Amino acid sequence: MIGVRKVGTVLVATVGALALASCGGGGSSVVSPGEGAFATGGTGGTGGAGGGSGGNGQASSDCPTGFINLGTVANGTLRSCGIPQLVTSNLTVPFRPGTAYRIDGRVAVGEDQGSDSQAPRAGARSAVLTIEPGVTVFGGISEFLVVNRGSRIVADGTASRPIIFTSLNDLNGGPDLRGQWGGIVIAGRAPINRCPPTTTAFPANPTACEFRFEAIQTINWGGNAPTESSGTLRYVQVKEAGFEVAPNEELNGITFGGVGNGTIVDFVQVHGSADDAVEFFGGTVNVRHLVLTQWDDDGYDTDEGYTGSAQYVINYTDAPTEESRCFEMSSAGSTSGGAPLLRSNPRVSNFVCRLGLAGTAFDSRQHQGILMNSGTRADFLNGLVVSENTRIPCLDIDGASTMVEPRPAFRSVVFACVGGPYRTTDGDQDAAPEALMTVAGSNNLATGYIPTLTQVFINGGNESGRVATNPTTFSSFFLATNFIGAVSGPNDTWFVGWTCGLAGATSC
Q: How would residue 55 be classed by pLDDT, with cut points 50, 70 and 90?
A: low
pTM over 0.85: yes
Amino acid 160: pLDDT: 96
Position 305 in a domain: yes
Q: Is residue 491 part of a domain?
A: no
Which residue type, as a one-letter code, is found at position 390?
T
User: Is 483 within a domain?
Assistant: no
pLDDT band at residue 432, thresholds of 50, 70 and 90? very high
Amino acid at 111: E
Using alpha carbons, list the distances in angstroms from residue 58 to 169, 226, 274, 454: 19, 46, 32, 39
Residue 459 lies in a domain: yes
pLDDT, tens digit, 9 for 90 and up, residues 414-426: 999 999 999 988 8
Would 107 be classed as within a structural domain? yes
Given this model, what pLDDT does residue 363 score? 67
Burial 484-495 (b: 16+ CB within 10 A, else e): bbbbbeeeeebb
Phi-psi region of 308 (alpha: psi -120 to 50; beta: other; left: phi over 0): beta
DSSP one-letter code for 471: G
Domain, as residue range, for 449: 13-473
Q: What is the mean pLDDT of residues 267-288?
A: 97
Residues in the chain, overall count: 508
Residue 286 lies in a domain: yes
Domain count, the chain: 1
pLDDT band at 30 (very low <50, low <70, confident <90, very high): very low
Residue 488 lies in a domain: no
